[in-house]
Amino acid sequence: MRRWAGSAIFAAMSVALAGCSDIAKLPVSAGTGPTPTLPAPNKTLIPTVNIAPAKGWPIGAVPQGAPGTGVAAFARGLDHPRWLYVLPNGDVLVAETNAPPKPDDAKGIRGWVMGLVMKWAGAGVPSANRITLLRDTDGDGVADVRTVLLDAGNGLSSPFGMALVGNQIFVANADAVLKFPYLAGDTRITAAGVKVVDLPGGPINHHWTKNLIASADGCKLYVTVGSNSNVAENGMTAETGRAAIWEVDAQTGAHRIFASGLRNPVGMAWDPASALLWTVVNERDELGSDLVPDYLTSVSDGGFYGWPYSYYGQHVDVRVAPQQPDLVAKAVVPDYALGPHTASLGLASSFGNALPPSFANGMFIGQHGSWNRRPHSGYKVIFVPFVGGKTSGAPLDVLTGFLSSEGNAYGRPVGVALDKQGALLVADDVGNVVWRVSSQR
């Protein structure tokens, strides 16, 4: 009865909010590419709320792959799989995770509304706090071995990013980076995690997903730390060390800010042609359905990318006070817009993939999908082509069909990774599936 009442309240609230929100005047494509269209902000009294209710996949249904590809479930029945990491022996690690308790991130009417929205989207469930190992022993593209590699007993708390360096696995919790001993072929690690470095957490911890990637020599870790708010409405003190990518010494934990002004960077990848670090960033909300585009960008040491004072370079956000014109003047323009409110999270270089030739050189991006845009955006996996280490051309759809014709979410793609055979793996945290996209020959 309580669940029915909650659903009825949410449905009524959605209708009321829809009447107060704006509708996009531009297609998603206008906010995509190296020179996106950036119309004037359209700030409404009540934020646009247009969430796709999480329903899960009907029996027998799968997402639609690009021409020349086939799609199958690599593993089903997972618990909110968010992030993926492929070990050198081909084992696939899946972070089954969700947000930690954030008591100060749900205060007031806005916090209450957002809490309902996230619950309706399938994000309001307790974290499994688990990294599961999946192994395909017969090479048929389906995992036939599943074990718990690490869990809360090892010290996991809303784990997300993972990286293997030598004989150590590094895991980014919501508030710290831990390391664990690992030998090739291990299916269970019993050791407790050793803390490498604390990360910003606390009772707000608005963007809790901390990702990490190792440098080529394994000496450094690069760690994403999202902002503690939309546009610093909690004050800049609450943003200390946030909206940034950290550079961390993998052994000592010594760290510094590598790049800043990145509202919520999540996925990271190295481009083999340029050896540059790239990231995808979730930009700010509540400026209308056509603003602000999320983006893919190379990241320069010491670069400042605008947040919270400006977006997409020097476009000032007048909601932020006091302003910092000196910082705005230095704001780096991102390389490539990914459409407004697409919630682009996953990122993987296509180097070494075995998909059709159109995906030979570029980046795969998992777009989790919008809540602050009408109509929806994202809810798919795309590919951005590269030439000579730079973005080049329009994005290509890789995996679609996550939304029903009624606007419900069968699934929501998050992390992406290439398996040892060169197929693309996609974590789907609503369908509780890891999908495998392979070439049809």
Neighbours of 414 (CB within 10 A): 28
pTM of model > 0.75: yes
Total domain count for the chain?
Answer: 1
**pLDDT tens-digit series, residues 388-440:** 999 999 999 999 999 999 999 999 999 999 999 999 999 999 999 999 999 98
With 90 as the cut, is the pLDDT of residue 286 above it?
yes
Domain span at 299: 2-439
pLDDT of 106 reads 65
Cα–Cα dist 193/362, whole Å: 35
DSSP character at residue 237: G
**What pairs with residue 220 in β-bridges?**
249
Neighbours of 321 (CB within 10 A): 8
With 60 as the cut, is the pLDDT of residue 4 above it?
no
What radius of gyration do the chain's Cα atoms show? 20
pLDDT classification of 5: cutoffs 50, 70, 90: very low
Question: And the tokens for 58?
Answer: 């009907």
With 60 as the cut, is the pLDDT of residue 17 above it?
no
Cα–Cα dist 150/169, whole Å: 10
**CATH number of the domain that residue 402 is part of:** 2.120.10.30
Angle at Cα 397 formed by Cα 395 and Cα 403, nearest 5°?
A: 130
DSSP character at residue 17: H
**pLDDT tens-digit series, residues 30-73:** 999 999 999 999 988 888 999 999 999 999 999 999 999 999 99
Label the pairing between strands 92-96 and 130-135. Answer: antiparallel
Judge whether 243 and 260 are in contact, CB under 8 Å: yes
Question: And the tokens for 15?
Answer: 């209708």
Question: And the tokens for 40?
Answer: 């004037």
Cα–Cα dist 426/82, whole Å: 9
Say which residue the tokens 């792959």 belong to: 65
pLDDT classification of 441: cutoffs 50, 70, 90: low
Q: Which amino acid is at 21?
A: S
The dihedrals phi and psi of 116, each to the nearest 5 degrees, come to -65, -40
Mean pLDDT of all residues in the chain? 93
Cα–Cα dist 160/208, whole Å: 9
